[in-house]
Structure 1
C-alpha cells in the first residue's frame, strides 16, 4: 500500500514516556502527510496533559477520542472495549498501533474484529515495558505472559524500543512468533540544544511519575545518605504527579529534608532541567526512558539506575550507572559533587546522541514496518 495512511494510536494512560512517544510519532507522521488519530483513557492525566493534547490537536485529522479505560483487567474492560471498538471503527484506520499492555491488547483485538468485517488493518504492538515488568514467578506474571503469547496470533508486528525489552520478552514470554523489529526512541532536533542551569539551581533533580516503580523513595533516601556522607546541606527538586505524591512529601519531612526538597507539578522536561545541576533517574524498572535521552541531549550530567535500556543510551561502562539501591545512588551523588565538570565530561557526546536517537529516523523506520505489513 502506498500513499497516505490512516493511523490510529491506541494506549491507556496519556502520561509519561508512552504519551511522549506517541506525540513524536504523530508529529512526524502528520508531517509526512498521513491522517492520525489517538484513542486513550479519559480518567488519567490532568491540566498538564490537556495542554499537551492541545499542542498536537491540529496534527490529528482523525481526532482524539478519550474514554474510560481501567488499568487492570476486570469486568469493566468489556464495556470499555465495546465503546472503544466503536470509536476506532468510526476512524477507519489502515494502521492500529497499540502502545503498552492495554493499548496493545485493544489495538490487536479491534484490528482483528475489523478484518473480520472486511477492512484490511495492520495490527502493531509496542510493549513499552508494560506487562514485561512483572516477575515470571508471580501469578500475575504467568497470567500476563500467557496472554501475551496468545495475542501473538493476532499481531502483525512487534516494535521493541530497546535490546533489553526484546531480551526480556524472549526470556519471559518466548521468542516472538510474530515479525519484530528494534526501533529506538528518538528526539526532535530542537531537543539537542543545551539547557542552562538557573542561578539558584538545586544540586539534584528528579522528574517522573510519583510511584515506587520510578524510585522517588530511593531518590529521597539517597539524598539523605549523600548529605550525611558529604557533611553538606544538599538540595533537590522533584517534578511530577501521581497518586503517591503525598507519601513522598511525607517521607522527605520524616528524613528532615522538607525544607531542602522542593516538589513541583509535572512540567515540560526542558523547563525542569534548569532547576538543578545533576539529573537522577532512580527507576526500579524501565524500557527505554525518554527522560534519559532528553537529559543527555540537553547537556545534563546524569545519574541513572542500570535498568531496562538505559545502559544502551549511556554505555554499559558509564559512571552514571548504578543499581537501584540507596547506597549506590548516594555514592554516585557524592561522586558527582566532588567534581561536577569531570563527571559531566564522561556523559555521551552530543554527536553520538544525534546519530543514534533521532525522531525522524524513528518515524521513518516505523512507517516502513507499517507498509511492509500492509503489502503482505
Structure 2
C-alpha cells in the first residue's frame, strides 16, 4: 500500500511528532509512505526528521493555517498534481487545514482520504468565531472523508454531530516509540527539590503561566524554589520569560525547542502540562514512557489518557490547586515512584507506536475495501 501523509506545517508540535512516529512505524510494517508538508519555511524540523529516516518529503507552500480561499485553492491544486504524479492509494491528512486541502484534492483525483483529527477547533475553549468557521468547514467536507480517525473518544463524540456515518469514525490513541535512555538517579531520589519539566509549544492553548504562578506559591510554602524547565518555543515564549522574571523565579529555565526530549525528561522527576484544551497530548505519553510522576490539566481527552489517580494528578486551572498537587509529589519520593511506575505500565499497555500503526493500517484496509 502507498500512502501520502499531508500535514499543515512542519514546525515542532504534537501533530508533527505523531506524523513522524506514524511514518516510521508504518514503514517498518511494510507501508510505502511519503509526506506532503505545508508552509514555505526552507527546512522545517519535521522535514529534516523525515529525511533523516529516509522518507520522501514534498512541499506545498500554499498550505498554511490561514483560511484564505485563494491559498486553499492553490494548495489543493498543487496537491492534486502531486497525487497524480505519485499515485498513492490513500491520502492521510493531519490537522484542520491539511484536512481541507487533502479532501478537496482527493475529490479531484478520486483518491480516498483519511482525516486524523488531533483536536476539533469547534469545541469549547476556542473563540466563538473560530468555532463557527471550523464547524462549517468540517460539516461541508465530512462527505468527502472516507474515514475519520479521532485521537480520543471525546473527539469522536464531537465528530458524531457531523454528516458522516458513525461507522466511518474510529478512535486510535496516539502512540510514541519506546526509547532506551540512561536513567538519571537524581530524578528519582529523595533530594530536596526534584526537578519539574513541561514540554509544550509556547502558544495557546498551553498555559505555562499557571505553572509559573504555582511555582511562586510553592516557593512561599516550602521556603525554597523548586527547579523547573520549560521545553518548547513559540510566539508566547518571551511573555512567559517576562512573567517568570516578574515573579522573581530564579530556578526556572526556558530552553526553546529541543531535539532530545526523552534524554531531557530523564533528568527530571515530575512532568506537568497545563492547557485550556487538548485532544490526546503526545507530551504526556512521552512522560508516561519516561515513568515520570505527572500533574496535568483536568480535561476530557486527558482523563481518557490517565483515568485514575494512581496514574496522575489532574487539576483545575487554578495555581493554588497546582501548587498543592506539586507539593504532595515533591514531599513524597515514594508517591512519585508509584505514580511513575503506573504511568509507564499504562504506556506499555496502550500507547506504543506499534499498537497505533497497526490500528491505522486496519483503517487503511477498511478505506480501500470494496465495502468501505
Residue among 360, 365, 369 paired with 1:371: 365
Residue among 16, 19, 26 paired with 1:19: 16
SS at match of 1:242: coil
SS at match of 1:145: helix
Residue among 174, 199, 203 paired with 1:185: 174
Following superposition, the deviation at residue 194 of structure 1 comes to 7.2
Give the CA RMSD over aligned residues: 2.5
1:128-158 deviation digits (Å, cap 9, x = unpaired): 0042445588232122112211211111111
Following superposition, the deviation at residue 216 of structure 1 comes to 1.4
1:215–1:284: 8 Å Cα contact kept in structure 2?
Answer: yes
1:214–1:284: 8 Å Cα contact kept in structure 2?
Answer: yes
Residue among 350, 355, 372 paired with 1:356: 350
Q: Aligned in 2, Cα 1:63/1:76: closer, same or farther, shift over 3 Å?
A: closer
Following superposition, the deviation at residue 355 of structure 1 comes to 1.7
Following superposition, the deviation at residue 47 of structure 1 comes to 6.6
Q: Aligned in 2, Cα 1:46/1:254: closer, same or farther, shift over 3 Å?
A: farther
Range that drifts further, 77-86 or 158-167: 77-86
Residues 269-280 of structure 1 aligned to structure 2 (within 5 Å): 269-280=261-272
Q: Report what 1:283 is aligned to.
A: 275
Following superposition, the deviation at residue 165 of structure 1 comes to 1.5
| Count of aligned pairs between the two proteins | 360
Q: Report what 2:152 is aligned to.
A: 162
TM-score, normalising length: structure 1: 0.87
d(CA) in 2 for partners of 1:362, 1:159? 11
Q: Report what 1:99 is aligned to.
A: 94
- Does 2:117 match 1:124? no
1:288–1:308: 8 Å Cα contact kept in structure 2?
Answer: no
- Does 2:326 match 1:330? no
1:58-83 deviation digits (Å, cap 9, x = unpaired): 1x2x4333524231202433333333
Residues 310-321 of structure 1 aligned to structure 2 (within 5 Å): 310-318=302-310, 319-321=312-314
Residues 106-121 of structure 1 aligned to structure 2 (within 5 Å): 106-115=101-110, 121=111
2:139–2:163: 8 Å Cα contact kept in structure 1?
Answer: no
Range that drifts further, 291-300 or 321-330: 321-330
d(CA) in 2 for partners of 1:132, 1:324? 21
Residue among 143, 150, 162 paired with 1:153: 143
SS at match of 1:166: helix
Residue among 47, 52, 66 paired with 2:49: 52
d(CA) in 2 for partners of 1:307, 1:132? 16
d(CA) in 2 for partners of 1:325, 1:345? 25
2:206–2:274: 8 Å Cα contact kept in structure 1?
Answer: yes
Residues 261-272 of structure 1 aligned to structure 2 (within 5 Å): 261-267=252-258, 268-272=260-264
- Does 2:2 match 1:6? yes
1:309-368 deviation digits (Å, cap 9, x = unpaired): 212222244551111332222221111112132133134253332121121121112111
Q: In structure 2, list runs of 5 or more residues that go unmatched.
A: none
TM-score, normalising length: structure 2: 0.88
d(CA) in 1 for partners of 2:264, 2:44? 17
SS at match of 1:286: coil
Q: In structure 1, list runs of 5 or more residues that go unmatched.
A: 116-120
Q: Report what 1:196 is aligned to.
A: 184
Q: Aligned in 2, Cα 1:177/1:238: closer, same or farther, shift over 3 Å?
A: same
1:240-267 deviation digits (Å, cap 9, x = unpaired): 111211111111111111x321111212
d(CA) in 2 for partners of 1:110, 1:104? 10
d(CA) in 1 for partners of 2:308, 2:174? 18
2:197–2:271: 8 Å Cα contact kept in structure 1?
Answer: yes
SS at match of 2:229: strand
2:62–2:71: 8 Å Cα contact kept in structure 1?
Answer: no
Residue among 45, 63, 76 paired with 2:57: 63
Q: Report what 2:211 is aligned to.
A: 219
